[in-house]
Structure formats: C-alpha cells, structure tokens
Amino acid sequence: MEREMMNKSRPQAKFGLIIVVLILAAAITTGCSEKAKEQKGASEKSRSTPVTAVKATSQTVYVTQEAIGLIESKAAPFISAEAAGRVKKIFVDVGQKVIQGQPLAQLDDENLAIGQKAAEADVNRLTILAENQEKTVDRYTKLAEESFVNRAMVDEQLAQLKALKQQLASAAAILSRVQSDLAKTTITAPTEGRIEQRMVDEGDFVGIGKPVFHIAAADFLRVVLPFPETVAASLAIGQKVALSSPSAPQVQVQGAVAEIRPMISPGARAVNMILDVPNPGGWKPGGTVKGIVIVEEHPNSVMAPETCIVLRPAGAVVYVIENGKAHQRIVTTGVKKDGLVEVVTGVKEGETLAQDGAAYLTDGASVSVLETK
C-alpha cells in the first residue's frame, strides 16, 4: 500500500520540479533581456555626439560700408580789411568764440572822422542854401504872377535851385561813402564761430583786402568721407550714416548724405561723400571722423552663429537637430555681423541648429544636446 502511494507521488514531484525550473528559466531570460536592452541603450548613447544647440533667429540686417574722413568747418571765411589804416585795437584772440556782428578789431579812424565832419558840414551848408533858394523861387513866382518881374527871372532862380539840389545830392553821397568807410574801420565777425588765426597785431598798417582773421564756424560742420570707387554704385543721396570721432568717442551723430562729388579724386581714387551735421560738442574742424553708411536693408533675415556653419565638399552646411538626429542642410550665406551669419536659404526661423560640435557631425548622426542657447 505504501509502495503504491509512493509510486503515485513521484510523478507529482517531478511535475512540480519542472514548473520550478521553468519559472527560474523565465526569470533568468527576462533579466538577461532587460540587461541587454540597457546595454543596447547605453551603447547607442555612447555612440551619439554631444553638441550644444541654438535656435535660428530673425532680424533686420543692414549692409554697410565704412570710411575714415575729415571734419571741416561748413563756413570758414578769411576776414579781410575793407578800409586802410593802422590797427588801433584788437578785441579777440585765437580760439575765442565770437558771434555774428561782434567787433574783432578797430582801425585808426581819425582821418575818416575828420572827413565825415567835413562832409556833414558841406551837406548842411547846401541844405540851407537850397531851402533859401526855394523861398526865392516862391517869391519870384508870385511877383511874376503880378507882373512885377518877367518870367525869365523866375526860370533863372529855378535853375539855381536845381543846381543847388544836385550839389546837395553829391555832398550827401560823399557823406554816405565816408560814413561807410568809417564803419569799415571796425572789423566785425561775419558769422558765428571761433577765431582760428589772427594775422595782425596792434600797430600794424593794413591795406584794403589784407586778411586779418580766419574764423571757423564750429556749430555746423561738414564731413567728407572718401569711399573706394568700387562701391560708388551703392552710394546714394539721402542714405543714413552713423558718424563718430575720436575727439569725442562717447558721442555718435546720425546724418544723411547731402552730396556725392561727381568726380573721383585722382590721388586716392575715391568717391567723396558730403554730409552737413550740427556739432554735437567736442568735434573740431580738421579732426578725423568714422562714417558707417547703410547701403542695403534686409528685413526678416534668418540669422545663425558663425560656428553653426560647416564647410563640406558640398559647400556650406548646417545640421538641423530633430528627434535626436542631425540632418545636414546645404545653405547660402550672406552678411556677417557680430558673430552672426545671414542664412539666405536652407534654414527657417526657429529651427534648432547644432553649434559647438557641429564640425564632427554627419548627416543622420545621433546627437545628445548638452545645452540649447
């Protein structure tokens, strides 16, 4: 009986053992599979190239040309003596600011003052004579109407009156000329500015036309910018120009092209561009100035850092990152400015581009993005 019971329990024990073995085998197989997956993922991760990424942006791009030019005074006249005489007094000196009409020097006017008095006396004398003669004419006219004198006597008195009036007009002209010459003995500033040069001293005798002062107007300046003749076709009147000068580096002036000289300068082979600008303060005629003129404007241009552009046999390319993969795009580039490059074709605004590490990528390569700027 016991033997029969033992024979019946042996198959059940074997079946249980088989189940245990199967469970253990399944567990081992599952563990190995998970481990294999982890190893595969780690292997793929180790094969991906680490890169930093950046978004393509959009902005307005300005194409510019630069030149170093010269600051000139818009008005820099030489002031000459308009009357002859000895310099009696000088009121200003080099570097002094003057306003229009301000006296600069006084010439000796003694002789002209005497001449003015003589001319005034002559005018007064002839004025009195002419007034008396007018009364005489009136009296003779009444006598002639009453037939006390003949008409010939009236005509004679009229002729004398006309002669006196002619003499009076001549004397008045002489007086006016003397007064004008007397006024010219005071040399005045024709415009506002600063005295750049003084060519006379007190006691010097100056003749008519001799330069005595050189004055430069510093409030309004003229800027001359020479550009190579190769860019002459891109220059036009009205273009915006940013100006700066080392004499006042903290100040920048915005101007517009007022004139482009029609001839190319023979020495420098350059096209001269002219701008008239107010002095922002600190700029001096004769100083240098840097001008940046905007010759083109590209609105809504796609921009990318220069490090995103990689040279390949196919040309300039970028790598667009999508779903952990780098996709090569052939691009056309344009203007470079401040470390950025205008991407004319090949990239859209907002796309993610590989930056640091882009040179090590190939089309379809796996990447791991360390940072997106």
Q: Same structural domain for residues 85 and 211? A: yes
What's the total number of domains in the chain? 4
Q: Same structural domain for residues 303 and 293? A: no
Per the domain annotation, does 24 fall within a domain?
Answer: no
Q: Are 253 and 280 in contact (CB under 8 A)?
A: yes
Q: Same structural domain for residues 169 and 271? A: no
Q: Count Cβ atoms below 10 Å from residue 297 Cβ, excluding itself.
A: 11
pLDDT of residue 19: 55
Q: Same structural domain for residues 211 and 221? A: no
User: Last residue of a domain, which of 257, 273, 298?
Assistant: 298
**Residue 347: which CATH number?**
2.40.420.20
**Residue 167: which CATH number?**
1.10.287
What residues pair up with 152 in beta bridges, in sequence order? none
Domain residues for the domain of 231 are: 66-74+217-298
Q: Are 80 and 212 in contact (CB under 8 A)?
A: yes
Per the domain annotation, does 41 fall within a domain?
Answer: no
Q: Same structural domain for residues 337 and 305? A: yes
pLDDT of residue 232: 86
pTM, whole model, 2 decimals? 0.54
- For the chain, state the CA radius of gyration: 49
User: Last residue of a domain, which of 184, 200, 230?
Assistant: 184
Q: Same structural domain for residues 174 and 115? A: yes
Task: Name the DSSP class of 139.
Answer: H
Per the domain annotation, does 21 fall within a domain?
Answer: no
Per the domain annotation, does 32 fall within a domain?
Answer: no
pLDDT of residue 372: 81
Q: Same structural domain for residues 211 and 222? A: no
Structural tokens at position 363: 């089309």
Q: Same structural domain for residues 223 and 294? A: yes
Per the domain annotation, does 227 fall within a domain?
Answer: yes
Per the domain annotation, does 147 fall within a domain?
Answer: yes
**Residue 279: which CATH number?**
2.40.30.170
Per the domain annotation, does 123 fall within a domain?
Answer: yes
pLDDT of residue 289: 93
User: Crossing angle for the helix pair 110-145 and 151-184, nearest 10 degrees?
Assistant: 160
For 298, residues 6+ apart whose C-beta sits below 8 A from its C-beta are: 60, 61, 62, 63, 334, 335, 342
Per-residue pLDDT of the chain (373 residues; tens, 9 = 90+): 444 444 544 555 455 555 544 555 554 555 445 554 445 444 444 578 899 999 999 999 988 889 999 988 877 788 999 988 999 999 999 988 888 899 999 999 998 899 999 999 999 999 999 999 999 999 988 888 888 888 888 889 899 999 999 999 999 999 999 999 899 999 999 888 888 889 999 999 999 999 999 988 777 889 999 998 888 888 999 999 999 998 888 888 899 999 998 888 777 788 999 999 888 887 888 889 999 998 888 999 999 999 999 999 989 999 999 999 999 999 999 988 889 999 999 999 999 999 999 999 999 999 999 888 7
Q: Same structural domain for residues 97 and 211? A: yes
CA distance 290 to 47: 52
**Residue 102: which CATH number?**
2.40.50.100
Q: Same structural domain for residues 244 and 334? A: no
Q: Same structural domain for residues 94 and 201? A: yes
Question: Percentages helix, strand, coil for the chain, rounded to the nearest 5?
Answer: 35, 40, 25
Q: Are 313 and 18 in contact (CB under 8 A)?
A: no
Per the domain annotation, does 23 fall within a domain?
Answer: no
pLDDT of residue 21: 47
Q: Same structural domain for residues 86 and 209? A: yes
Beta-strand relationship, 211-216 and 78-80: antiparallel
pLDDT of residue 42: 46
Structural tokens at position 68: 């170093």
User: Last residue of a domain, which of 242, 276, 298?
Assistant: 298
